[in-house]
Structure 1
Amino acid sequence: MTSLVTRAQIILLARTLHVPPERLAHLEKLGPDRLHELQERMSRTIFDEHAETFRRISRLVPFIPLSVSMPLIQRIVPPAMTGRAAGAVGADHPKKAAETVSLLGTSYAADCVPYIDPVTVGHLADGVPPQPLVQVVNEILRRHDYITVGPFLDYATPTLIEALELGARDDEGLIHASAYAYSATAVNAVVRQLLSGPSQRIPRLVRTVLAGPPDLQRAGLSIFARCEPEIIRAVGEVLFSVGSPPAIGTLITNAIRIGSVPDILTFTGNLSRQALGRMAGNPVFAEQGVMAAIVAALNGRTEPNYWRGFFALAARTSTEIQQRTVRLLAEMPDANVVDLPMRATESDGWPMLLQLIAVADPAVQQRFGTAWAGLSAERRAGLQWHIHEHHLDARLTAITEAAPTMSVEEVFFKRRQARRHLGAAGAGSGSADSWSPW
């Protein structure tokens, strides 16, 4: 999840608490998940405190004709109050909700949306024809209030998402709004509809991202990186069918400049084999600073999705770029180099990592061998197993000689010895004879 989602949660929490977002900036370190939980709890508390007031308003609905009350409300009731009451009233009177939306002016309704309890959006959408809601969304997008649309998408029904595909006219706005949605499930539902729906909007949206400014590209990458693997593969096919190598190269360099390397690596790690080859073959990776910036962005990062994309990308580049890349890995801090085998295990990247090291010069290989010589005997055995499994013994002698190991049988023997010494032969959840190469 990206910083865009974190920013959205800060702004939504600030709206809930009626304070400027700047006063809550220090909470960004909580991350999007904890911020979302905090915002939901605060919102729930406030709505619960006013529940009795909303119930009183709801009880009046059957007695006052909407044709009389709606024009009056729009003239004298602040949108904040109407928005907060809308959820409770709509839940109690779903048929009236549909009529209410049709009687409200689009502009006034758009003013109300930031104050509606997001949880009730799904209930309201179920009973309301989608077209008036799409008109409201279009008005909010016209105002560039993308963060308000994010929670709307989080709780949107399939029917509403279908209507948005056909009726939300602002491509850039839809991209920005989807990037601010908290729910990855909602993001996937939106992109899936845009892929398979009757309007087939993904090619147009991808062109919009490629031609757009860096902030739009950041939003697009954020969306695509949060999608499920099969959706990423489908979007990837579209990207390389409509995007020229220079346009995709610009997307990559902009991703580096705006801090979206994790997103583009996550996206890359789920591309089809053909699309991955076209990504790795982009001339931009021949530029001296590009792979250096990508490796620098991985410093201290442990997320498997990032490393999966990096290993897959680097292993498909030319030999010259691979040699440069593995040299950059060798220049990382000692702790990062020592942890590379763990990163390879967690990301299923062993074949790619070993391939990179195999094309390195002896001095670089020696750097890895020296760093990994300090691993535990069991992990050194795992390292040797991977090297042998991928038939790289002859090409990685600098590592196998620098990081001496013991046989698997010796690993078992040492483990049994240690357990007997500790008197814990029967303790633990694993078997004494179970072994993983890493």
Structure 2
Amino acid sequence: MSAAEIVKPDRVEMILLARTLCVPVERLAYLADLPDEELRAFRKQVSKALFDANSHGIARLARVSGIVPVAVMANVAQRSRSALFVASFARVLDLSKAVGVAQRLRPPLLAEVAAELDPAEVRTIVGALPPALIVNVAVELQARADWMTLANMVGHLPWETVARALAELGDVALVQTSNLVGDAALRNLLVELTPVERIAGLVAAVAEHNLWTEAAAAIGHLPEDKLLAATKAAAALGPSEHASFAALIANARNEQES
């Protein structure tokens, strides 16, 4: 099994587990037949074990957080340069203090911290940050090609903020992120948020970078106006691209009918 076969919307848990274990997703190919529920339960067990291993020092910091100014805690977090430490620290702080620390972190470190947070933590901590800062984090994640964390943000942040972030992302980032949004309903909302004016650029990016597989789920749910724009864009690129696009549409319709 190749990495390309693993990195699909229904294999998001594989990617999250690989990230938790700090190993390439290819090394977990032998787990690919396990149900998502089992992978998710195992990932949470691993996360808890990693947290418990460092819980003593973090608990000591949490006990003094009530008397230490947020600016000082943020300075300690920034100087640590450890996203895992900062994420673990954020988990034991009151939400207001966690947000206060996060607001003072530079976007590169904050992007790394976001990658260490579970989806629910993204919603509560990252979701409470100013929208402009969230957009900066999304741009930083794009520069790192961290599509998994971007997908988590899309699925767990207010849609007004998501729309602002999407406007700053390139076409490749939008395709890759949409591919990893595991919930079909959320993926459809992402398609709805994409202006029809961007469709031609997205199709060109898919063709240039051979992202037909990654784009399949989104293409299969395009509304009529965007489907027409995509079809015209694919035809304009050449016979090969048009054929690839037509094949995706046919496959998507067959899956919807089956």
TM-score between both structures, scaled by the size of structure 1: 0.50
Alignment correspondent of 2:145: 144
Asked if the contact 1:4–1:179 (Cα under 8 Å) also holds between the matched residues in 2, the reply is yes
Tell me the distance in 2 between the aligned counterparts of 1:161 and 1:248.
33
Q: State the aligned residue count.
A: 249
Q: Could you tell me how far apart the structure 1 residues matched to 2:59 and 2:188 are?
A: 35
**Counterpart among 65, 78, 82 of residue 82 in structure 2:** 78
- Structure 1 residue 13 corresponds to structure 2 residue 17: yes
Structure-2 residue corresponding to 1:66? 70
Aligned 1:2-41 pairs, distance under 5 A? 4-6=8-10, 8-30=12-34, 34-35=35-36, 37-41=37-41
Partner residue in 2 for 1:186: 186
Say whether residues 1:219 and 2:204 are aligned partners. Answer: no
Q: Percent identity?
A: 21
Bigger Cα Rg: 1
**Backbone CA RMSD of aligned residues:** 3.1
1:250 and 1:203, CA in 2 relative to 1: closer, same or farther beyond 3 A?
A: farther
In structure 2, C-alpha distance between the alignment counterparts of 1:4 and 1:266, rounded to whole Å: 16
Are 2:199 and 2:226, in contact at CA under 8 Å, matched by a contact in 1?
A: no
The residue that corresponds to 2:128 in the other structure is 127
**Equivalent position of 1:300 in the other structure:** none
CA contact (8 A) 1:87 1:121 kept: no
Cα distance in 2, alignment partners of residues 206 and 104 from structure 1: 37
CA distance 1:77–1:210, shift in 2 (3 Å): closer
Give the 3 Å change call, closer, same or farther, for CA 216–160 of structure 1 in structure 2.
same
Secondary structure of 1:63's aligned partner:
coil
For 2:116 and 2:143, the matched residues in 1 are separated by 18
Could you tell me how far 1:172 is from its partner in structure 2?
1.4
| CA separation of 1:204 and 1:304: change in aligned 2, threshold 3 A | closer
SS in 1 for 2:85: helix
Q: Deviations over 1:189-235 (max 9, x none)?
A: 222222xxxxx3x332443323542533332233222x3xxx53342
Structure 2 unpaired stretches of 5+: none
Q: Which residue of 2 aligns with 1:208?
A: 202
- Counterpart of 2:224 in structure 1 is 233
What are the Cα deviations for residues 65-121 of structure 1, in whole angstroms up to 9, with x where unaligned? 1211212222225212212343453xx32x334432321011111122221122211
Q: Deviations over 1:109-145 (max 9, x none)?
A: 1122221122211112442211111111110111112
The AA in structure 2 aligned to 1:151 is: N
The code of the aligned residue for 1:41 comes to: A
The Cα shift of 1:246 comes to 4.4
Task: Give the structure-2-normalised TM-score.
Answer: 0.80
Q: Quote the Cα distance in structure 2 between the aligned partners of 1:3 and 1:234.
A: 29
Following the alignment from structure 2 to structure 1, what is the Cα–Cα distance between the partners of residues 160 and 236? 38
Cα displacement string for residues 346-367 of structure 1 (whole angstroms, at most 9, x for unaligned residues) = x5xxxxxxxxxxxxxxxxxxxx
Q: C-alpha distance in 2, partners of 1:2/1:266? A: 19
Change (3 A) 1:189 1:86: farther
Counterpart of 1:160 in structure 2 is 161
Distance in 1, matches of 2:148 and 2:67, equals: 36
| Larger RCO of the pair (alpha carbons < 8 Å, separation 6+) | 2
For residue 181 of structure 1, give the secondary structure of its aligned residue in structure 2: coil
In the alignment, does 2:250 pair up with 1:250? no
Change (3 A) 1:165 1:204: same
Q: In the alignment, what sits opposite 1:116?
A: 117
Query: Would you say the 8 A contact 2:74–2:104 is kept in 1?
Result: yes
Matched residues in 1 for 2:20 and 2:92: separation? 17
**Matches of 1:235 and 1:223, distance apart in 2:** 11
Who is 2:250 aligned against?
Answer: 265
Distance 1:88 1:8, change over 3 A: same
